[in-house]
Chains A and B, each alone.
Chain A
Amino acid sequence: MNGFFDIPSDLQHSWLGLVGLHLREALLPVLAGLLISLPLAQLCVRFRWLYPPVLWITTVLYAIPSLAFFVLLIDYTGQTELTVMIPLTVYSLVVLVPSIVDGVRSVPQETLAAATAMGFGPVRRYVQVQLPIAVPAIIAGLRVATVSSISLVSVGTLIGNQGALGNLLNDANIYNRPELAVNAVLTMAALAIICDALLVVLRLLLTPWMPRRAHTKPKADRPDPAALALEDAAR
């Protein structure tokens, strides 16, 4: 009974259970990050002077290793999923805030002037004009944040098996079952690819108004999600 999908009982989950847990621990922080980033980015657009310090703070937070975060948080939130998800939420801001700010700023001046001249108030203009036009940039940010979050969850194994699929890496070591490590890596990679693909589909559904050729155009100013994920895995 030492098959590829036979998960040691100390993890108290089936393989599918771990997948579900992993997705929850990875995606909830991205969602929370998005909810924080939207108003934060809007403030940065509205008050230009705010953007540099916000960018600086999110970058500094991103530079804190997750382990250090855990040590700080464990006194308050214990050895729980929350301790893993809080740093992931903070990390997602470094990608999401700039992509939303760039997206909202990319709305042409004429479009904004036309909206104002037609009697759009600031709120209506933000919700009906700026945000929809920023969708491609926001989703580009979400893709990076999601893929990086999926790879980062595994660090949670260090604080009492809160790393979902990452826990398999530890078990591979203690039970001397290398196939568990292979399973963990392949499953996480598959999850990352699937989530990324779903976000691309979502973008296509939300932006029928985009020229087709732009879909293949690489975003030069944004790092490749896969490269960033690899870099994060080293944390």
Chain B
Amino acid sequence: MIRIDSVTKRYPDGTVAVDRLSLEIPDRSITVLVGPSGCGKTTTLRMINRMVEPSEGTILLDGKDILQQPVNTLRRSMGYVIQNAGLFQHRTIVDNIATVPRMLGWGKDKARARARELMERVGLDAALARRYPYQLSGGQQQRVGVARALAADPPVLLMDEPFSAVDPVVRKGLQDELLRIQEELGKTIVFVTHDIDEAVKIGTMVAVMRTGGKLAQFAPPAELLSDPADAFVEDFLGADRGIRRLSFFPSAGLDLLTTPIVAIDSTAEQIAARDTDDVPYLLVTDLDGRPLGWCEPRDLTAGAVEAEQLLPYGRPFVAGTDSLRAALDCAVLSPTGWAVAVDAEGRAAGVVSQQTIGEAIRGAHAEGRKTDKTDKTARVAR
């Protein structure tokens, strides 16, 4: 565990970058430091590997003061990923990744074999091994940066706005990849970002910092969204935190209706059987069961449906895996007000109304309040 104990960083000109910050960074999870520019989040990160020395306070790594350890040994035990990757442009991809193992005295072949293994782990094509950084896209370079940080299998990974310089689509890919890698490797990750959405998405714990280097709130993302500590945190979270909080509620509990689903080749009797009062529309699927669109029962004649006549169904959510946010989004997007759930293969699994989703949300809130309370009691007891 990394324990930051009332650490202050004051520069010679009197600027206070970090002000009596105390944080306990739990092992094997992602702790995100987030805040506006000038809040001291990067300074905090850099104090952990002593690229910045604290003016006051101590930082303990597994109970030992980091100032008591040789600085380069300490740094080699912590992977570091930086914005724009900071790759060595004069070295090939495989040699970039092998840097720290080579410094630790590994043989060339062993270090390169390890580098190739990591390329696979972070989703890089093995054919890129002998290329130079300029030949890679920004997203690929950032993957190399992650692989390089992981090369010597350090227990701690420090990430300084690693994904801020890539476009949103690539960024989402990199975030998903990081979560997947973290699931496999279970590193202690400290992640700095100014993007609250990123923080909420990847953080196990999120530390919101305010200008002047003060900690505003330290909480799991769901708690941050439901109970912001003060107006600053609330403002920083943005307007739609209620909607975003739904990301933490599973859609698994939703009651899906399967009656109003008809295949496109259905007979008149089959259609009539599916037409109930519960749902004013029928969902037409193709022969494999994939949704095509909504249709009013009276417009539907057997075997004569044209795809163009169907109402769009928005974007389906995956039943069970997606959150209530995805389900609600789907219901809002659909002109009929009904969300379409699909299974992992994209076949229609059922439909659900905005109203049902609303009930599920209210249920989740009640549940959330209950666990919040037990959480708080537990914390007091500790």
> Across the two chains, which residue of chain A brings its CB closest to B165?
A110
Interface positions of A from 101 to 151, Cβ below 8 Å from B: 108, 110-121, 129, 132-133, 135
For the residues of B in contact with A, the DSSP-based class is: mixed
A117, B51: Cβ atoms closer than 8 Å: yes
A133, B132: Cβ atoms closer than 8 Å: no
Q: A108-B84, A114-B145, A133-B90 are in contact. List 13 more A-B contacts (CB 8 A).
A: A110-B82, A111-B86, A111-B87, A114-B88, A115-B88, A117-B75, A117-B82, A117-B158, A118-B99, A119-B76, A207-B90, A209-B92, A209-B134
A110, B90: Cβ atoms closer than 8 Å: no
Do A209 and B91 form a contact, CB below 8 Å, given A114-B86, A119-B76?
yes
B49, A117: Cβ atoms closer than 8 Å: yes
Query: Would you give the shortest CB distance from A52 to chain B, in whole angstroms?
Result: 23
Q: When each residue 86-104 of chain B gets 1 if its CB lies under 8 Å from chain A and 0 otherwise, what string results?
A: 1111111000000110010
B88, A111: Cβ atoms closer than 8 Å: yes
Which residues of chain A come closer than 8 Å to B82, judged between CB atoms?
Answer: 110, 113-114, 117
**Is B72 among interface residues, defined by CB-CB distance under 8 A?**
yes
**Is B137 among interface residues, defined by CB-CB distance under 8 A?**
no
For the residues of A in contact with B, the DSSP-based class is: helix
**Is B35 among interface residues, defined by CB-CB distance under 8 A?**
no
Among A110, A111, A114, A135, find the residue whose CB has the most chain B CB atoms closer than 10 A.
Answer: A114
> Across the two chains, which residue of chain B brings its CB closest to A114?
B86
Interface residues of A (CB under 8 A from B): 108, 110-121, 129, 132-133, 135, 207-211
A132, B86: Cβ atoms closer than 8 Å: no
> Across the two chains, which residue of chain A brings its CB closest to B99?
A118
B103, A118: Cβ atoms closer than 8 Å: yes
Please report the C-alpha to C-alpha distance between residue A115 and residue B83 in the assembled complex, in whole angstroms: 13
A110, B84: Cβ atoms closer than 8 Å: yes
> Across the two chains, which residue of chain B brings its CB closest to A124?
B103
Please report the C-alpha to C-alpha distance between residue A114 and residue B100 in the assembled complex, in whole angstroms: 11
Query: Would you give the shortest CB distance from B106 to chain A, in whole angstroms?
Result: 14
Query: Would you give the shortest CB distance from B304 to chain A, in whole angstroms?
Result: 59
> Across the two chains, which residue of chain B brings its CB closest to A210?
B134
A208, B80: Cβ atoms closer than 8 Å: no
Query: Would you give the shortest CB distance from A112 to chain B, in whole angstroms?
Result: 8
> Across the two chains, which residue of chain B brings its CB closest to A118?
B100
Which residues of chain B come closer than 8 Å to A207, judged between CB atoms?
Answer: 90
Q: When each residue 332-343 of chain B gets 1 if its CB lies under 8 Å from chain A and 0 otherwise, what string results?
A: 000000000000
Do A211 and B86 form a contact, CB below 8 Å, given A114-B80, A117-B158, A121-B72?
no
Query: Would you give the shortest CB distance from A215 to chain B, in whole angstroms?
Result: 13
B89, A209: Cβ atoms closer than 8 Å: yes
**Is B32 among interface residues, defined by CB-CB distance under 8 A?**
no
A133, B89: Cβ atoms closer than 8 Å: yes
**Is B133 among interface residues, defined by CB-CB distance under 8 A?**
yes
Partner of B86, one of A113, A121, A208, A209: A113
Query: Would you give the shortest CB distance from B74 to chain A, in whole angstroms?
Result: 8
Report 15 cross-chain contacts, Cβ distance below 8 Å, ordered by A residue: A108-B86, A110-B82, A110-B84, A113-B51, A114-B85, A114-B88, A114-B145, A115-B88, A117-B49, A117-B51, A117-B82, A118-B148, A208-B132, A209-B90, A211-B134
A118, B89: Cβ atoms closer than 8 Å: no
Query: Would you give the shortest CB distance from A41 to chain B, in whole angstroms?
Result: 18
Please report the C-alpha to C-alpha distance between residue A120 and residue B102 in the assembled complex, in whole angstroms: 12
B86, A110: Cβ atoms closer than 8 Å: yes
Which residues of chain A come closer than 8 Å to B99, judged between CB atoms?
Answer: 118
Interface positions of B from 115 to 149, Cβ below 8 Å from A: 132-134, 145, 148
Please report the C-alpha to C-alpha distance between residue A119 and residue B134 in the assembled complex, in whole angstroms: 24
Which residues of chain A come closer than 8 Å to B85, judged between CB atoms?
Answer: 110, 114
Which residues of chain B come closer than 8 Å to A118, judged between CB atoms?
Answer: 75-76, 80, 99-100, 103, 148
Please report the C-alpha to C-alpha distance between residue A62 and residue B83 in the assembled complex, in whole angstroms: 42
For the complex of A and B, 5 pairs with smallest distance between CB atoms: A110-B86, A114-B86, A117-B80, A119-B72, A119-B75
B89, A111: Cβ atoms closer than 8 Å: yes
